Amino acid sequence: MNNQFDELAKNLAQSVTRRAALKKFGIGLAGMALVWFGLTHKAGARTTNCLPAGNRCHEGNQCCSGLCSNRYCACLPNGSQCQGNTQCCTGVCSNGYCACLPAGSPCGGGRMCCGGLTCLFGYCRQLRFP
């Protein structure tokens, strides 16, 4: 183990020419740029840039829910008609209506679970304290 560490230390301590350092730095920047643009294109295809509920807004088209109320993005309550999860306060749009998840349902956090339930270890559960 010490031998491997010594080799690593020797390699790091060796001098590098300015040209080689700039070349590696440039390659690193180019790689980061490719990753960044690749990820943003994938994200852009998946969702739009919208503001979640609670953020300040000027008009409804800025908000994921399409609702801007009193200069804040609002969300749709349970039972409201919806076209996607981002419109609902719970984050769940099921069969065209905002809904919540019952006990035992897989969840991803937030307010997805019905009243009195909490998303704990990936499932909607009721917290009981002794």
- Answer whether 33's CB lies under 8 Å from 44's CB: no
| Cβ-Cβ contacts under 8 Å for 98 (sequence gap 6 or more) | 76, 77, 78, 79, 80, 81, 82, 87, 88, 89, 90, 92
46: which 2 tokens? 């998946």
Q: What is the pTM of this model?
A: 0.51
- Answer whether 51's CB lies under 8 Å from 71's CB: no
Q: What are the sequence ranges of the domains in the chain? A: 48-98, 100-130
What would the pLDDT profile of 98-124 be if each residue is shown by its tens digit? 998 899 989 887 778 888 888 888 888
What would the pLDDT profile of 15-67 be if each residue is shown by its tens digit? 777 887 777 777 766 666 666 665 444 444 444 688 888 899 998 889 888 88
What would the pLDDT profile of 2-12 be if each residue is shown by its tens digit? 677 677 667 66
